[in-house]
């Protein structure tokens, strides 16, 4: 049982405050959806938890099972059990997917996985995501389509088995088929591990595949409303217009 506790989190970028006091607790086995309009600070929350150097935490704390996440380096956070599936995964020229995955798994697990079982594991995870085995020989994110990048992120989720996963707009840029496959991939990880999931999205469509336990509406750098799956349905029909006033003092879209 793991718990990620975010308390009164304030984050700035270039001295502009983006997050203005976020409180959120995600426990193992739970799925939380964070929904909000563009520019509301959703991605800032994701990157701040992962430790991206561009974001400065000015107040508050992030604890993983009581451990101070904010004092950890980026790699330490990952080894502690946090995972961020990025909206814009980065190209790493000359580094193959297979080398990358194995290096990451070795780092996160604390020892190199046995080659034979590892190969099987990767193969199975790729098959779940309907990925061609030849994919493993390509360079990380180089020349990947939008759908391939997202599948590759979820492949890492499946192999690294984090305690808490943050999926940042994993649904963006996906067509219906890719969305289904990626969602199945996420659900397979949820079913086979005790992962706590923080699903960040603008649209409700991924929530038809990945059912959240809790929905949080994000506007102006903080959570402005919370509820169950029914809140997502209301957002589906009403949109974010009613939160515009709350976002007034927030960052520009």
Q: Rounded to whole angstroms, how far apart are CA atoms 155 and 24?
A: 26
Does the protein bind other proteins through residue 158 (CB under 8 A)? no
- Can you read off the two tokens belonging to residue 207? 């929530």
CA angle 39, 40, 45 (to 5 degrees): 105
Residues 173, 146 contacting (CB under 8 angstroms): yes
Q: Which residue of 78, 155, 186, 231 would you call a contact of other proteins, by CB under 8 A?
A: 78
Does the protein bind other proteins through residue 79 (CB under 8 A)? yes
Q: Rounded to whole angstroms, how far apart are CA atoms 166 and 49?
A: 9
Q: Rounded to whole angstroms, how far apart are CA atoms 124 and 136?
A: 13
Does the protein bind other proteins through residue 103 (CB under 8 A)? yes
- 42 vs 152, beta carbon nearer other proteins: 152
Three-state SS at 193: coil
Q: Which residue of 94, 115, 175, 253 would you call a contact of other proteins, by CB under 8 A?
A: 94
- 59 vs 161, beta carbon nearer other proteins: 161
Please work out the total of residues on this chain that contact other proteins, with binding judged by CB under 8 A.
29
- Per-residue x/- mask for other proteins, residues 117 to 146, rule CB under 8 A? ----------------------xx------
- 63 vs 95, beta carbon nearer other proteins: 95
Does the protein bind other proteins through residue 70 (CB under 8 A)? no
Residues 200, 43 contacting (CB under 8 angstroms): yes
Q: Rounded to whole angstroms, how far apart are CA atoms 138 and 214?
A: 37
Does the protein bind other proteins through residue 152 (CB under 8 A)? no
Q: Concatenated DSSP letters for 116-139?
A: HHHHHHHHHHHHHTT--GGGGGSE
- 136 vs 247, beta carbon nearer other proteins: 136
Beta carbon of residue 138, minimum distance to other proteins (angstroms, whole number): 13
- Can you read off the two tokens belonging to residue 97? 């997917």
Does the protein bind other proteins through residue 99 (CB under 8 A)? yes
- Can you read off the two tokens belonging to residue 183? 């969602």
- 86 vs 164, beta carbon nearer other proteins: 86
Binding interface with other proteins (CB under 8 A): 50-53, 73-75, 77-79, 84, 86, 89-95, 99-100, 103-104, 107-108, 139-140, 156, 160
């Amino acid at each position: 049982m793991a718990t990620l506790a975010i308390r009164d989190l304030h984050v700035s970028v270039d001295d502009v405050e983006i997050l203005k006091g976020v409180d959120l607790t995600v426990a193992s086995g739970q799925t939380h959806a964070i929904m909000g309009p563009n520019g509301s600070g959703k991605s800032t929350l994701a990157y701040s938890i992962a430790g991206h150097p561009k974001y400065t935490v000015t107040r508050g704390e992030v604890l993983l099972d009581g451990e101070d996440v904010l004092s950890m380096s980026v790699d330490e956070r990952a080894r502690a059990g946090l995972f961020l599936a990025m909206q814009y995964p980065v190209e790493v020229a000359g580094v193959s997917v297979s080398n990358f995955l194995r290096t990451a798994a070795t780092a996160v697990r604390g020892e190199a996985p046995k080659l034979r079982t590892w190969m099987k594991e990767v193969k199975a995870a790729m098959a779940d995501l309907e990925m061609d085995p030849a994919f493993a020989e390509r360079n990380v994110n180089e020349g990947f389509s939008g759908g391939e990048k997202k599948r590759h992120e979820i492949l890492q989720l499946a192999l690294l088995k984090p305690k808490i996963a943050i999926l940042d707009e994993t649904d963006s840029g996906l067509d219906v088929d890719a969305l289904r496959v990626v969602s199945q991939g996420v659900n397979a990880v949820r079913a086979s591990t005790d992962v706590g999931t923080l699903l960040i999205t603008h649209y409700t469509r991924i929530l038809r595949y990945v059912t959240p336990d809790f929905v949080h509406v994000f506007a102006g750098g903080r959570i402005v409303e919370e509820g169950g799956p029914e809140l997502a349905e209301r957002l589906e029909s009403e949109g974010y217009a009613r939160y515009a006033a709350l976002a007034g003092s927030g960052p520009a879209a």
